[in-house]
A and B are shown apart, each in its own frame.
Chain A
Amino acid sequence: MRYTGALILGLVLSGVVFSQEIVCKRVKSLPLDPLDKAWTNIKPVDISLSGQAVVPPMELKPSITSISVKCLNDGKNIAFHLVWSDKTEDRFHLIGKFSDAVAIQIPYRPSADVPITMGDKGQRVLILHWAAFRQENIEKGYSDTAKIYPNYAYDWYPHADPPYKYPENWANQYALNYIGGEKVFRKNTFNTPVREVVAEGYGSSTWKDIQGAEGKGVYRNGKWYVVIKRAFVEESTSNPEWGPGKETFVSFAVWDGSNGEVGARKSLSYSWIKLRIE
């Protein structure tokens, strides 16, 4: 078994907590802007990252090896401030080209026994995934063909309205469902760059129907500055056991688009980090 070594490594590391701890201070209001002054006085926790080497496809040569994390809460919402160095700014998800991204993982049950490899059956995790290409869409308009390939000579779109909406009464319902349907359209047109995902083991991650998390990313001087914000308790959907005065765990993953990183090809923190919410 070629991957046994990597799997053992993964199993050994799941459930391990290193001494690091993030303290999430309570403030009156949470800034969504990562360059807001409210973030400057908080001491960051530097977390080291390594390539995903548990399940193929792996990232054996990751380009991002650490991330700097700050946390604030206002009693109802929690916000993470994430900074990492990335020489290239990748803001598009194209053919063979990927966008920079970052994700926070939180176990539903506040325990370090939950496998760090995206949970397991009955041991659900919440993942908050910010991506630069979504940020680009929100700030500069949806990345449609004309924007991505301005010189593309093509003007025949018999069915699809921008960005990808097909008419509901289109006669070919199979095609409608298969190549464009409402869900694909909806997935791409949420007005937030952060996706809420739940997972019970790798390969199982699924988008939540309710998408409440917000975020903002800014690229400056070779670094990404990203804030991801979510309510502790969101209405009409499942939530982790977390809130003011509680302790839980978090872990982080970063994708460098120009290093070909997407999906399982990423760098991540291989241990749960204690999160103390004041």
Chain B
Amino acid sequence: MVYKAYNWQLGREVNYPYEPKRPQKQFAVVMDLNKCIACQTCTVACKTTWTPGRGQEYMLWNNVETKPWGFYPLGWDIKLLELLDGNKKTVFDAPEGEVVLGWKPDELDWMYPNVGEDEVNEPVDVGTVLENLPHPIWMFYLPRICNHCTYPACVAACPRQAIYKREEDGIVLIDPERCEGYQECIRACPYKKTHFNFVARISQKCIGCFPRVEDGYQPQCVITCIGKIRLMGFINPPENAKPDNPIDFLVHVKKVALPLYPQSGLEPNVYYIPPINVPLSFLKQMFGPGAEHAVKTYMAMREGKEPELQALLHLFGSTPRIPHTFKVVGNEVIAYDEVGKEIVRVPIVEPIQHRPHKDEKLDVVRQDIP
């Protein structure tokens, strides 16, 4: 059976093997790639919380890779683009005998996350000629978690129906008791965010920190981010977008946060503010045709022309609670929880304290050390 599911990221219907149904709320995360420094604090936070067990050694439910040459597993997005080579095709347009157009990484493909990824990032000497390279020297960091897709390929592919998408928050989970480790989900997920535990012999994946989300808190990877690049919330489809919902504002109103490889057809729910230092052709390949608008808007914000957007970015990393709505009042941005109670208030411009170099009263010279 094949159903037609409307994918707003593509603006058209896609094939899906289950009846399309949106959850009551949809888990979503926005990540500002202009601010990620690949410190891997998110990776470690997730690792210590969820994947410290036997058979999970290689597993990273959250990882940060260096684009364009970093991968986990090896070549995951190159392979995806190769599979989707062709007009108007998604991973649900599978050949005879398959549910999803997928591929399975070799075990060694998983074994070297980040190894050697940054070694080429040497300082460029003045006068270096770059014209002959395939691309000029640019790079950025791409943090990745499970996208908790609206139309998950893992759910579609599991022959035991051991994977399900939760009605209450859209988080996608694997039932460890039903899972038999057939690895069809690993073959199907184009983002390769399901993993096989070779000791427990079940598949496992990012669970969106559902125990925290149930209590109104953002996931571990979001709140531990020292670069304050992440914000978790709930997204509405564009026709129901609410301008005071921080995720809706970034994705639907300002359109600065974009899905990763939307051409997969899964309607992924982690959104990225694209890095402004990267060639547009690459950003379009990765985040879709909206990349140009997103970069322009972000650059305008840096010039002070998007005060509300600038204010909202101050909420990133400012509270462990899930913000459902936000408001800018004077010099402050305020976030509210599900019932409208204030959870945090952040000044948009921090007061500056100027301390003169020489303290006349104490007759000392201050060193520039805090």
Which A residues form the contact surface with B (CB < 8 A)? 1-3, 53, 55-60, 93-97, 133, 143-145, 148, 152, 154, 156-160, 162-164, 166, 172, 174-175, 178-181, 183-184, 187-188, 202-203, 205-206, 260, 262-264
Contact = CB atoms under 8 A, between A and B. Distances in A.
B160 A180 contact: no
A163 B199 CA distance: 7
Given A179-B53, A184-B177, A263-B180, A145 B98 contact: no
A60 B97 contact: yes
Interface in B176-214: 176-178, 180-184, 186, 195-196, 198-202, 204, 207, 210-211
B183 A96 contact: yes
Contacts of A178: 173, 176, 207
A179 B160 contact: no
Contacts of A166: 53
Contact of A57 (B57, B184, B211): B184
Contacts of A174: 210-211
B98 A154 contact: no
22 contacts: A1-B2, A53-B97, A56-B94, A56-B97, A57-B159, A59-B97, A93-B181, A93-B198, A94-B198, A144-B199, A145-B198, A145-B199, A157-B54, A163-B54, A163-B199, A164-B54, A172-B49, A174-B210, A180-B53, A262-B181, A263-B160, A263-B182
Task: List 7 A-B pairs, minimum CB-CB distance, nearest first.
Answer: A58-B97, A263-B182, A95-B107, A160-B53, A174-B211, A154-B57, A264-B159
B34 to A, nearest CB: 33
Contacts of A95: 58, 107, 110, 183, 195-196, 198
B199 A263 contact: no
Contacts of A203: 159-161
A148 B177 contact: no
Interface residues on B, range: 35 or more
A56 B98 contact: yes
Contacts of B96: 2-3, 58, 60
Contact of B57 (A94, A145, A263): A145
A1 B104 CA distance: 26
Nearest to B175: A178
A163 B202 CA distance: 13
Contact of B183 (A53, A187, A262): A262
Contacts of B51: 179
Nearest to B212: A174
B359 interface: no
B54 A205 contact: no
Contacts of B210: 174
A254 to B, nearest CB: 16
B199 A262 contact: no
B199 A164 contact: yes
Given A57-B157, A93-B181, A163-B54, A175 B97 contact: no
Contacts of B110: 95
Contacts of B184: 57, 263
Nearest to B1: A1
Identify the interface centre among B48, B177, B178, B186: most chain A CB within 10 Å of its CB.
B177
A1 B3 CA distance: 11
B6 interface: no
A160 B199 CA distance: 11
Nearest to B173: A178
Nearest to B181: A93
Contacts of B131: none
Contacts of A184: 176-177, 200, 202
Contacts of A206: 178
Contacts of A188: 200-201
A263 B181 CA distance: 9
Nearest to B53: A160
B262 to A, nearest CB: 25
B174 to A, nearest CB: 9
A58 B100 CA distance: 12
B105 interface: yes
A96 B106 contact: yes
Contacts of B98: 56-58
Contacts of A183: 176-177
